[in-house]
Structure 1
Amino acid sequence: MSKKGFDGLMRRSCTSVLVGRAATRDGSILIARNEDNTTPAAPKSLRMVPAGERDGVEGANGFAITLPEGGFRYSAMPDVTPEEGLFEEAGVNAAHVAMSATESALANDCVLAFDPYVENGLAEDAMLTVVLPYVKTAREGVKRLGEIVAAHGSAESNGVLFADHLEAWYMEIATGHHWVAQRIPDDCVAVVANQLSIQEVDFESDSFMYSEGIREFVEEHALNSALGGGGEHPFNFREIFGTSSDGDRRYNTPRVWDGLRLLAPEIAKEHTVVDSDLPFVFRPNRLLGVEDVAAVLSSHFDETEFDPIGTAGDEFSRKRYRAIALSRTQESHVLQIEGVFGLSAEQCAQAALKGELASPICWVALGTPCFSPYMPLFCDAHMWPACFDDAAPKPDLSHPYWVFRSLQAASDARFAVTQVRSGDYKSEQWQKALRHAQHVHREALAAPVEERAAVYEKGNSELASWVVADAQKHLATLLLDLSIASPLTFKMNPNL
């Protein structure tokens, strides 16, 4: 089946960021993504999934698999319409492996002609569910996902993010059975936007993993167009398997350029907004924090002529390219795992399972991140606040998802009226969130190992109480501001 046939199963508009541990101020590894949809409102729940909750999964496209016994507890962000697919999307398991799935992409006609998608193969809706509970390292995540694709095929082209305490990996499934994964260099960053992005593959390096027979597949069907000396031809995965179209240059490439603009402006200046050869991995111009990654995922080409709600440029330029943050962004997440030195990945996993390492944090913004705050939820809590679970499928302002979803609806249509108020709110929320995260982190590490999960649960509960209340208060203020600024306002006769 063609990619078009899976519109109902996939998120066609995501943007992803991966950051190695030597590129952050505190040595953390960060993987992050906006989950976009084709509809402005596809409600999300936030929950902790107990170990061994499922013994099998059936995807919305007919994919079916029996799951191993046991597994780990993990956090997830499922849709509230499970009959259309689980779409658990992103989370961290008890062994401190983070996964975000997926970054939808497209492969070109030449490769799909010889290895088409598998109609009932693995798709985004089931991917996190069948992988994350069963792996102890990021490499194991890539390996398990690759084995499932080999056995069942893939229904789509997808990019998948993995991280543990040592490494960040980006895996791209291009066709029905072929894929490549690259370890992000510790001092580098990657920004991806709905295209196959991995460039030259080094088959001799342990920084790459790939599907069995991929080189033979490319050679058999004469798919590599690269020129090289001495009979050697570089294996550029993006060029061999990906696309390079006018649609890419309007919808995808400009978002990667925007990420470069914010994280490595000197590199961005070397390229145009629609340059098809933007680098997959690059060194940022400074050490990064969670807020820097969040700024990329919140960007709508701020302060450029391409900002759809800005005042620079003209009507054409403001609608010319697709921005990173959209009205149909359902949630945005930054998964933060503390870097650990001196231990192997296996040793990190064992220490995590014993509660000896600091909890990963899922920074999540429900709705559009340029208007919603990022909330630090600790993943070593055995439960997440119940108020974030079971969102209603239709608007219901008693649920946090719909409160945060409403902030965008009340903010962007008349941005000139709401801009200052929204900016002040986001700034205040960032300060509160950073203080809260540091306080809970220190309190937990000072507690006995067996008491840490309770400290994290208490911290998450405290966060939920004030972050939702602050959002409700902010929404009410926005509505008053918009009422006062209404074009239906008329100066009243003071004697009436």
Structure 2
Amino acid sequence: MNYESACTSILVGKKASLTGNTMIARNDDTFLPLTPQRFYMHPAWKGEKGLHLKSPLNGFEADLPENGYRYNAVPNVDREHLGDYEESGINEKNVAMSATESTYGNERTLAFDPLVKDGLDEDLIVNMTLPFIESARHGVEYLGQLIKQYGSPAGNSVLFSDKDNVWYMEIVTGHHWVAQRIPDDAYAVAANQVAIQQVDFTDTDNFAWSEGIQEFVAEHKLNPDQSGWNFRHIFGTMNEKDRHYNTPRVWYAHHILNPETPEEPESAELPFIMRTSHRISVEDIAQILGSHYNETRFDPFGHGDDKDRLRYRPIGLNRTQNSHVLEVRDNVQEGLEGIMWLCLGYPEFSPYVPFYTNATDTDPSYSTTPLKMDVDADSAYWLHRTNSMLVESHYSKFVQGNRDYLTELYRRYRKFVYDTDNGASELSGKDLTKYLTEANYKVVAMTKAATKDQINQMIMEGINLSRLTFDMDKNL
């Protein structure tokens, strides 16, 4: 599988969010439009010896610790040929991880710390990290040790969060990386380009880095600036591909959340840390991750000329296999903290369904996905991709109905979370986990019914839109 130049990530500090909770979010974009995925709960394990992982892609292999926490993940269905790529989840310690945002180091730095061909790559990075970490900062440190031990075969950036902290970690060469804590009152966006800027090596509360990175940069004379230590300038790329493929996505996210910001889509100096005057909601993130330069001349569905409409790569794509918002809540009772808002269709047209992560199972329509389309299959992946394809096929005719469908679902999701939280007030331990597992089944059933109704409506309307028609006297 080729994940080159894919994904868009958004990170939100708890004071910058509408609910006062941390959120990390990402589009998992693949090279091909159809790479079926499933959503499942991986059970915890204790005292199990001999657990071993091996990548079918680059030959990386490693033993796993004997103990691991329960976590949820969204892997490929065809793991044997395409690799695991578990991508995202929240473990039972309420630590969230999303991996990875493909990121590219420049030739100057890679000359002296080249990528490691059989190192730890995206396909197994979640398996090797998420079951074993107890906080977002611990995630950075734990993965940093793995990269020191095994090396990295690609540039990979990783998102971590817990109820208090959000961290973004950029691995850009075979062994070197920097991570930055997102301030509580801020958000950040990244899109396949080194994002972190000035690093303060005296501020260990908000920055972490690979062993010897300062000496590495000094020894090989890699810092191009007269002053400061700008990670993006030292390790990142700034080329024509970045200006048309990467930076416009960051610009547009800023445009949505900070429309007053005077930025240019092709600027290499778009700020990483951003603040906005309003609090950011899950719906705001969904709007950004599904966007395609809406209401600008760069919108592929818009009315600009072809040169503008095809100038920049949009955020939401047909090859977005899943999109997710991982919310870790700080204002609820124990056991209710983790919610994964998961979208399996095109994020522009499909809902982000809220799943409580303190659960032991997922509805079979999510946990089991056929490799190929089967109209009789009960599959969330294929259901939502069918819905997305139909909306796009008659975009101007169907988009308003699709927005109404999504608006109503988000209203119902908010009420679902509120009611589920209240219904759990007397529960704890295994009883709470069982209750939340059943609640997840209920929200799937509700979503499935609404989506099938939406599909039926579009099919009936689409039949009436056929060009194979002819006006005739109904009395004939």
**What residue number does 1:105 align with?**
103
Distance 1:184 1:420 in 2: 36
**What residue number does 1:440 align with?**
420
Contact 2:335/2:428 (8 A) holds in 1: no
**What residue number does 1:185 align with?**
183
Contact 1:9/1:85 (8 A) holds in 2: no
**What residue number does 1:140 align with?**
138
SS in structure 2 opposite 1:334?
strand
Change beyond 3 A, Cα 1:330–1:71: same
**What residue number does 1:152 align with?**
150
Contact 1:445/1:452 (8 A) holds in 2: no
SS in structure 1 opposite 2:302?
coil
Structure 1 residue 389 and structure 2 residue 385: aligned? no
**1:423-438 alignment to 2 at 5 Å?**
423-438=403-418
**What residue number does 1:338 align with?**
329
Structure 1 residue 308 and structure 2 residue 305: aligned? no
Contact 2:328/2:339 (8 A) holds in 1: yes
Structure 1 residue 46 and structure 2 residue 20: aligned? no
Segment drifting more, 65-74 vs 465-474 = 465-474
**What residue number does 1:375 align with?**
353
**CA-to-aligned-CA distance 1:278-329 (integer Å, 9 cap, x gap):** 0001102201111111111111111111111123x22221111111001111
Distance 2:313 2:321 in 1: 16
Gaps of at least 5 residues in structure 2 are none
**CA-to-aligned-CA distance 1:48-102 (integer Å, 9 cap, x gap):** 0011388221122111111101110000001001112100000000000000000
Segment drifting more, 9-18 vs 328-337 = 9-18
Distance 1:12 1:432 in 2: 35
Structure 1 residue 238 and structure 2 residue 216: aligned? no
Quick one: which of 11, 14, 17 aligns to 1:21? 14
**What residue number does 1:215 align with?**
214
Report the alpha carbon displacement of residue 451 of structure 1 after superposing the two structures with TM.
Answer: 2.0
Quick one: which of 75, 79, 83 aligns to 2:76? 79
SS in structure 1 opposite 2:119?
coil
Distance 1:414 1:247 in 2: 31
Distance 2:270 2:455 in 1: 39
**What residue number does 2:310 align with?**
319
Quick one: which of 458, 466, 473 aligns to 1:486? 466
**What residue number does 1:256 align with?**
250
Gaps of at least 5 residues in structure 1 are 1-7, 229-233, 341-351
Contact 2:2/2:31 (8 A) holds in 1: no
Report the alpha carbon displacement of residue 9 of structure 1 after superposing the two structures with TM.
Answer: 4.8
Contact 1:387/1:400 (8 A) holds in 2: yes
**CA-to-aligned-CA distance 1:224-261 (integer Å, 9 cap, x gap):** 01112xxxxx1111111010011111111000011101
Distance 1:463 1:194 in 2: 33
Structure 1 residue 295 and structure 2 residue 297: aligned? no
2:185 corresponds to which letter in structure 1?
D
Pairwise CA RMSD: 1.5
1:298 corresponds to which letter in structure 2?
G
1:153 corresponds to which letter in structure 2?
G
Quick one: which of 417, 437, 446 aligns to 1:466? 446
Distance 2:51 2:367 in 1: 22
SS in structure 1 opposite 2:185?
coil
Contact 2:72/2:357 (8 A) holds in 1: yes
Contact 2:335/2:358 (8 A) holds in 1: no
Contact 1:9/1:123 (8 A) holds in 2: no
Percent identity reads: 41
Report the alpha carbon displacement of residue 450 of structure 1 after superposing the two structures with TM.
Answer: 4.5
Structure 1 residue 58 and structure 2 residue 50: aligned? no
Report the alpha carbon displacement of residue 447 of structure 1 after superposing the two structures with TM.
Answer: 2.7
Contact 1:34/1:333 (8 A) holds in 2: yes
SS in structure 1 opposite 2:260?
helix
Report the alpha carbon displacement of residue 396 of structure 1 after superposing the two structures with TM.
Answer: 2.1
Distance 1:317 1:486 in 2: 30
Instruction: Say how many residue pairs are matched.
Output: 468
Contact 2:2/2:30 (8 A) holds in 1: no
Structure 1 stretches of 4+ with a deviation exceeding 4 A read: none
**CA-to-aligned-CA distance 1:99-142 (integer Å, 9 cap, x gap):** 00000111111111111110000110000010000001011111
SS in structure 2 opposite 1:266?
coil
Q: Structure 2 length normalisation: TM-score?
A: 0.96
Report the alpha carbon displacement of residue 357 of structure 1 after superposing the two structures with TM.
Answer: 4.4
Segment drifting more, 250-259 vs 486-495 = 486-495
**What residue number does 1:226 align with?**
225
